[in-house]
Structure 1
Amino acid sequence: MMIWRLMVILGGLCVLLNGAEGRSSRGGKRTMTFHRTQQDESQGRARARSRRETGSSSGTPRPSHGPPFTSCRIPLTPAEHKVLDDNTHETGFNGDDGSYVILTWVGDGTGVVLVLSTFSAPIDSYLEGGSSRLYRSTDYGKSFHDISDHINNTFIKEEFGVSVGPGSSVILTADIPVLDHQGGIIFTSTDAGATFKFIQLPFHLVQPITYHFDNPDYLVALSIDGGLWLSLDFGAKWTKVHDGVHSFSWGAGNNLFLSFSRTEAVDAEERGDLVLKRTTDLGKTFTIIHEDIFSFGYIGAFLFFSVMEDPRSPRVMYFSSDQGDTFSRALLPSASTEQFYSILDGDEEMLFLHVDNPGDTFFGTMYTSDDRGILFSKSLERHLFDGHRKSDFTNITSLRGVYLTNKLDEDGRIRSVISFNRGGTWGQLKKPDNVDCVKQVKNCNLHIHGEHSRNNRIVPMLALSEPTAVGLVIAHGTVGDSLSSSQHPDVFVSSDGGYSWRGTLRGPHHYSILDSGGLIVAVEAQHEGQVKTIKFSTDEGRCWKSYNFTEQSFFFAGLASEPGTKAMNVSVWGFRPEEDRQPMWVAVTIDFQSLITRECNGEDYEEWLAHSTDEGDLERNGCVLGVKETYRRLKKQSVCRNGKGFVVSKKQSPCLCTREDYLCDYGYYRHENTSECVRQSSNPNKTLELCLNGEEDELLTAGYRRVPSDRCEGGFSPQLAVQTVIRPCGVKPSPGPPARSSSPITHFDTPRERLVLILVCAGAGVIVLIAIISAVIAVKRVVYRNRAPVYRFSNLQIQDDENSVTTDLQSATSSNGTTCQQDSDDDLLE
């Protein structure tokens, strides 16, 4: 479930809001003003000036203008203007420089928005730390009601005070001094904030509470002393299940993973002295997966962790596709302490992983995995990854198999590349037809700004796409031979998933997709000025109309809409600093459903073949990942509502297989400008380090493997290519306590052990020995194209929780993406 969350932090002294009164405004707009206590007038004017100087939250620079492009502008009719005036609602509440405002949507289709304002009181105040006020809207942000009494005006944390979970669940975490209380305080709600329940915790939180993927009643939390706590009744009761925990993550089902240290060493994680455990019965028993790990994560269906197998050797990566029952060393380059691994993206079928290059190069190599996370193939070299561990890698969710990222070429320039087959091949973006290059350059392409640009405040937003808005992509970019920070960043739109683009808005903007792509809204990112105008388009950015949503402009803080992109209400948030008045926070909600009243019918939709181009074989036109997909989507000229009941409809048909349906196997890479997989020069002797049950084995490969989720039929078959014999070497399993088994049967995990047992029992002679050895060698040969080789360690080694040593927590992050925490797998495996 998608959750749109906006947080705005402003520094300065803190004050308390203590009252409310309403007043009306023009055109049917309603205004509710929440006053603060009386403060010194000179201080208020000084703070107002300070805000005006700091200005917009985006901080977007205004570099020189880029190339001109043509775009369509249509003025509003008087009737349209009146309709929007009558359905635009403005809510204002006074704030101060110390206010911390959190705006959170709750649920999908509920129309509920929570606004939390916290105020840190001065040290000598009678308030213990501060106070909070909570406001709730049930009409998509058109009006708000003060429900602070539901939480007794308790001071809510600024760092992770609001956490929204599955369904309509909400958790508020109070900011309680650790020395004054035995445990923290939370408020829980299961009805989207209509009511809250007060809960005293037996511990203090160090990070947000983590929800279970499927069951919102199952919660897990980490305390400041490293204790892992579990609740099975949505926080009413808590049980400590482990001590000394550094990090944790939910897996599939009721699998819960954690890493902990057996010693009190503060650098256990840096030295790779952590132990990875798993529980399948909600904390009753634990099993050890691996020792000597640095960190771990869980994404899609893959558990992954990095290990230092020898104190003098670099780290290596291990993966498991069966919740840790078995695991294998990934066929990847090792990483020294100066390098890092980073999981870029993943699902149940494959992973994208970045391996940093040695030194401060700001780039590395991107790899894609097979469906078990074992065999990794080189996907993109010189993949951009800066010193802040930020990547521009983006999944274009509006079309299957499309990914966008940036690379640092040898000439030191950053260039954008896009893949339409899940990393199998990459190419540059085409120049939009309505945009000319600034200078005459040899290669003129569109280049998209990513996380690096946002981190450096060049653009306010990243590329935006939504699964329900088929083929639609909105992004900031520049046109030329490379990405430019001095050239004016403009907004570009693609309607076909990134194959073609067009310039649509000059300058940086904040934008949002509504009504499953039937409506796009945008607000210009002003660096020094204030905003009062919203732009909207009903034809995927070809033409735009502008509407002044307020008479008095304000500094922009955020653009918010309901999760799921099916709503047609959008809220613009910000504040008005004034010389003679105290600054006022403002929320303006615009209901576009009142303007676009007609429901779409069958004549408003068209059949669209995804990935289709005018180039290449007509028979294979549209074939990507082995299938052709024909979508039913809205015509550009149709002005109507898709509605909340809209469901993406598509038809699929299989394609004949080609080399493009295969990735290059381990030890191979796709030569530039060709589809043929060739052997990497780093493996001239054709010997690869592949771990097969700790034994030397043979792997026959044609250099290709099917792209995960590819469903092509017939056609190209890599069996026809010349096969290469690869002789992998063995790897020893992780050291650990002896395995405990409830079965009296002794298990022999290697063919060699089984062979010795057979010889001892049978008392065979030399001839029998030779025959058996020959049979074992014959069985050990694995042809990769027919079935996957088994490189698995033995089952988990069981250890009771009572035998583990507890330690104090030094650091902890959860990789669970269901919380509001923004930390992900990006820096998980450093």
Structure 2
Amino acid sequence: MAGDVYISEDEGKNWDIVDGIPREEAVMLIEHPFDNCIAFVLTRSTRHYKTADRGRTWRSFDVPTAPALSFSGAILAFHAEPAKSGYILYRGLKCERHRWWEPIKCHEETFFTKDGFAGESKLLLRDTSDCIFAHSSKDFSYTGHSDLIFCQAFEGGTQEPHSTENSRLFSSSDFFNEDIHVVDFGLSGRLSRGVMAMGVVSKFLVVALHNLSEGSIGELVLYVTVDSKNWTKAHFPRASNVTLHERSYTILESTTHSLAIDVQFHTSRNIGTLFVSNSNGTYFVEALRDTHRSDAGYVDFEDLVNIDGVGFANYIPNAREVDAGTANLKLKTVMTYDDGSSWSPIKPPTRDMHERPYGCDTNDITKCSLHLHSVSDPHNIGRVFSSTAPGFVLGVGSVSEYLFPYEQSDTYFSRDGGATWKQVGHGTHKYEFGDQGNIMVIVNDEDYDNHIRYSIDSGVSWQKFDIGVKLRAMLLTTIPDSTSQKFVLLGLVGRGQGEGDKRYVIVHLDFAGMRTRQCEGDDLEKWYAPGTNGKEYIMAHRVRIYYHKNVGH
């Protein structure tokens, strides 16, 4: 099935190969982020495919160049305004040889469409690295032209070799027809050159460029704007000695209150420091030292969905020894209730799911707390911990002084945003939420197994269900907003158990028949986000009040 696209119109129960797309040609499926009826299938050629009716029908469209698949960054960039869902930018790769004895040279070209590729796409700009609409996030607001586009591109034309000094940031409000500007960030001359990356994060547009001033050591500087007009250099605390280098920092998922950036300081690529900004993203304070980063730059940090200010992070308590190469890396998990201003260990359950005590004193939270595997050690699709149901959190980890390896961990659940926890599974599991948290499913992902476990009472009790096939779980998922009562489990069966050499199976789980009625007023309870102590205001902000199904009804 490599290169084929399948569709299910009954939430994963039945699957059919789509009509209108040739077999074995698809390399990428891209959903429109602002219109859930539209999706695109890209191939390696200049002909691609689009659906505008949730995959029922597909039509082909042609573009001048093949997609820039071998380069980092998104191939398609979208406009966030509902009325302009057809405004799309396409990154293509053009390769040519100017003289027969010269090697083939490739460069990127960006094209645009205003009608979702219904007509001919037009050239936006040559020799680009990345282009985005300023209005590519619903949170990024500004008073300028709604069609404003920013492009990271090279000066000098495609004949000239690319260098740091000829990489600039350009802007245009008429698709680079007549209105073309070079963004200078308030700098003079060559200092505004050396643009390395850009992106919209929440309400912030961030650009990284090489410091080309005299005496610099090739470090990066960040410039931030919240209105697309006024750019300000990001300032880090002097005491932290921050020096940004290419691939040494990660801009994290951020709230509209602040921008979060993790910076690698140490020799080890796995050790960073988390910084959080003020409201306009320009002044940063140190939030957490010695954060854990993967080799690829993924940081063990995640905010909880729909709960302001609450998040998890993993840090390395023996970072100095790890950096010196004299010790193996250890991890601890901490939580914040105030957007990273303060952190504390996670209070563990006092006993495991079999009412047995843990191997450490749970009253001493400094040496015995709950630690969780996070982003750098992915084991679940999508968000690592939380669901769209406020306060419901599942995770794999250990009650110990330091985080145990994944294969030695267990599965834990909290229904109050991490304030209290209970063990709900022995060993590691994949997990998923449905029906806004009223249904939770976990499945063993350590060994081959023929059953799943589920809860329909907010995690108070868990039932075992035989799925009729013994498999090794690879993926457990449902629709993205977790409102469905149906799940899809993808697994691998043992050798000789499948048809021929086919070992992958899909199991459809349907819990719709187990719900007898919709929730009513008596099923709900008032619940305050953790860390607020029942107060209506905290840090001058009104505290959200969330409601859960009352498990006593």
Q: Deviations over 1:127-156 (max 9, x none)?
A: xxxxx4x433222122234443x22x3432
SS at match of 1:281: coil
1:163 Cα deviation after fit: 4.1
Distance across 2 between alignment mates of 1:574 and 1:487: 18
**How many residues end up aligned between the 2 structures?**
486
1:277 Cα deviation after fit: 1.5
Segments ≥4 residues shifted beyond 6 Å: 459-462
The answer to whether the 8 A contact 2:224-2:234 is kept is: no
2:316 counterpart (393, 402, 408): 408
SS at match of 1:346: coil
Distance across 2 between alignment mates of 1:523 and 1:197: 38
- CA change 1:486–1:401 in 2 (3 A) is closer
Bigger mean CA offset, 307-316 vs 491-500: 307-316
SS at match of 2:377: helix
Residue in 2 that maps onto 1:610? 529
The answer to whether the 8 A contact 2:427-2:446 is kept is: no
Distance across 2 between alignment mates of 1:339 and 1:201: 32
Residue in 1 that maps onto 2:194? 292
Residue in 2 that maps onto 1:191? 53
Mapping of residues 216-295 of structure 1, within 5 Å: 216-225=85-94, 226-236=108-118, 237-252=120-135, 253-263=146-156, 268=163, 271=164, 273-284=166-177, 285-290=179-184, 291-295=193-197
Distance across 2 between alignment mates of 1:581 and 1:362: 43
Residue in 2 that maps onto 1:801? none
Mapping of residues 760-775 of structure 1, within 5 Å: none
1:233 Cα deviation after fit: 0.5
Residue in 1 that maps onto 2:411? 491
2:500 counterpart (582, 598, 603): 582
The answer to whether the 8 A contact 1:398-1:472 is kept is: no
1:448 counterpart (340, 347, 372): 372
The answer to whether the 8 A contact 1:256-1:278 is kept is: yes
Q: Deviations over 1:611-667 (max 9, x none)?
A: 267xxxx785884663333323211244xxxxxxxxxxxxxxxxxxxxxxxxxxxxx
- CA change 1:569–1:373 in 2 (3 A) is same
Bigger mean CA offset, 219-228 vs 411-420: 411-420
Q: Deviations over 1:501-545 (max 9, x none)?
A: 111111111111101111101111034x2x431211123323111
Residue in 2 that maps onto 1:125? none
The answer to whether the 8 A contact 1:575-1:583 is kept is: no
SS at match of 2:376: helix
Q: Deviations over 1:575-613 (max 9, x none)?
A: 444279413443222221111222211111112222267
The answer to whether the 8 A contact 1:335-1:341 is kept is: no
**TM-score for both structures, normalised by structure 1:** 0.55
Distance across 1 between alignment mates of 2:376 and 2:13: 35
Query: 5+ residue gaps in structure 2?
Result: 70-74, 95-107, 136-145, 185-192, 322-328
Aligned Cα root-mean-square deviation (Å): 2.7
The answer to whether the 8 A contact 2:18-2:55 is kept is: no
- CA change 1:430–1:555 in 2 (3 A) is closer
Matched, 1:313 2:255: no
1:324 counterpart (221, 224, 228): 228
Matched, 1:569 2:486: yes
Based on CA coordinates, which of the two structures has the bigger radius of gyration? 1
Residue in 2 that maps onto 1:376? 284
Distance across 1 between alignment mates of 2:315 and 2:161: 37
SS at match of 1:223: strand
Distance across 1 between alignment mates of 2:160 and 2:381: 41
Residue in 1 that maps onto 2:254? 346
* 1:593 partner amino acid: A
Residue in 2 that maps onto 1:438? 359
Residue in 2 that maps onto 1:509? 429
1:397 Cα deviation after fit: 1.1
The answer to whether the 8 A contact 1:504-1:542 is kept is: no
1:391 counterpart (273, 276, 299): 299
- CA change 1:439–1:282 in 2 (3 A) is same
Q: Deviations over 1:318-367 (max 9, x none)?
A: 33334431211111255254772221122333101122214226323211
The answer to whether the 8 A contact 1:539-1:637 is kept is: no
- CA change 1:395–1:266 in 2 (3 A) is farther
Matched, 1:424 2:341: yes
- CA change 1:372–1:398 in 2 (3 A) is closer
1:445 Cα deviation after fit: 0.7
Distance across 1 between alignment mates of 2:267 and 2:543: 43
Residue in 1 that maps onto 2:453? 535
Which of 1 and 2 has higher RCO (CA within 8 Å, sep 6+)? Answer: 1
1:213 counterpart (49, 56, 80): 80
- CA change 1:593–1:355 in 2 (3 A) is same
Residue in 2 that maps onto 1:722? none
**TM-score for both structures, normalised by structure 2:** 0.81
Distance across 2 between alignment mates of 1:194 and 1:303: 36
Distance across 2 between alignment mates of 1:200 and 1:304: 32
Matched, 1:549 2:467: yes
**Structure with the bigger percentage of strand:** 2
